[in-house]
Amino acid sequence: MNHKMTGPFIQDRKKAQALEKLVQRVLGVSAPRVAFLFPGNSIDYTETLENFGKNQFFLQNCKAARINKDSILKASEAHNSPVDHELSNQVLIYTICCSICDYYKSKGISPTLVSGYSMGIYSAFYAAEAYTFETGLSILKKAFHMTKDLYISKRKQRFEMGVIIGLSENDIHCVFKKVGGTMDIASFNGAHSFLIVGEQEKVKVCLKKAEVMGAFKAECIGGGGLGYHTPVLREIADEFYEFLSHCDIYNPVYAFLSPITIDRVTDQSAIVDEIIKNMYSPIHWSSFINTLFNIYNISVCYEVGPGDSLTKMTRYINNKVKVHPFCVVQPGLVAF
């Protein structure tokens, strides 16, 4: 499907890329292979907003999606409902991530591959130029509302997600067996680092048992009672597919490497499948990082979003892969 992306950053990015290519020809060097990595939602964006909140790309994206940054931030802080708070967080973090991506591209920093951790998938496909900012936002909101409806209205149960660091995969399954109920590993972040998901009370019991077994970190990460990366969300797959089939999604300009299947996603139909699988499948972040380095020869990554959660996580997976948290690239400075 042919398409032409539009946006306020396009002209500046083209100029930056043309300058970058000219410098490479003159100096006889090739562009480094880099990956753009987009974080999930359980991150603090306060400091990033303070430093980036007045950036032209952020303000333009807010305007394009009819988002009032100050209203969303105040509403997010004021919500008594954890579920409503979660949606506000997702919208704001998506907007920040996409805007940081626009900013990096305007400075001539372009990715060889892109990927997203959990809900970071939506801004990652925006970075791949597979859809517009507005389309990605509509997909994010649809996924949220379907998930909310399934848990609260249909199943009438709350799910929770928690992080456990310091136990093995076998240890985690032993804990699950003792606790019972619907419990799954949502993300394999390392040999002794996991994200778990399941019924809210069961997760809390699992975390307590993990501490007793010697985990040095075992805590809930929020989510408003909505669990992701669980087979339970297969129930919304058909409805989500129907919605996505009517969205303007295109073949990506930049390849996406799946942290779910560890395969490249290079066409429109594969993007739809990936977005749906991301709801109910576990993340294999450790395998993803090692594949980036061993197969795709990428050792430089940018964490395109608030905080440094992926930077820290990757350090313990493969210390040869350097992930740089977001920073403002000043004009005249070398990007790499």
**Residue range 113-167, pLDDT digits in tens:** 999 999 999 999 999 999 999 999 999 999 999 999 999 888 888 899 999 999 9
216 falls within a domain:
yes
192 falls within a domain:
yes
Average pLDDT, the chain: 86
How many folded domains does the chain comprise? 2
Boundary residue ending a domain (173, 193, 220): 220
Average the pLDDT over 204-231 and give the result.
Answer: 92
Do 197 and 171 sit in the same domain of this protein? yes
Cβ contact 45:96 at 8 Å: yes
245 falls within a domain:
yes
Which residues does 287 contact at the CB level (< 8 Å), separation at least 6? 188, 262
Poorest-confidence range of 14-18, 229-233, 252-256? Answer: 14-18
d(CA 260, CA 187): 9
Q: What is the pLDDT of residue 190?
A: 94
Do 141 and 270 sit in the same domain of this protein? yes
Please tell me which residue, 53 or 261, carries the higher pLDDT value: 261
Do 138 and 281 sit in the same domain of this protein? yes
Which secondary-structure segment (H or E) carries 193?
Answer: strand 193-199
- Alpha helices (H) in the chain, listed in sequence order: 10-27, 46-52, 56-64, 69-78, 82-106, 121-127, 133-148, 169-179, 200-213, 237-244, 268-280, 285-294, 309-315
Do 186 and 211 sit in the same domain of this protein? yes
Residue 11 banded pLDDT, cuts 50, 70, 90: very low
Phi and psi at residue 326, to the nearest 5° = -60, 135
d(CA 206, CA 202): 6
Task: List the beta bridge partners of residue 257.
Answer: 264
Do 115 and 239 sit in the same domain of this protein? yes
Do 113 and 244 sit in the same domain of this protein? yes
Q: What is the pairing mode between strands 34-38 and 113-116?
A: parallel
**Residue range 268-315, pLDDT digits in tens:** 999 999 999 999 999 999 999 999 999 999 999 999 999 999 999 999
Which residues does 184 contact at the CB level (< 8 Å), separation at least 6? 196, 197, 198, 229, 230, 231, 282
Cβ contact 101:10 at 8 Å: no
Q: Which domain holds residue 201?
A: 159-220
Do 148 and 245 sit in the same domain of this protein? yes
User: What CATH number has the domain bearing residue 182?
Assistant: 3.30.70.250
Boundary residue ending a domain (169, 187, 220): 220
d(CA 321, CA 151): 38
23 falls within a domain:
no
109 falls within a domain:
yes
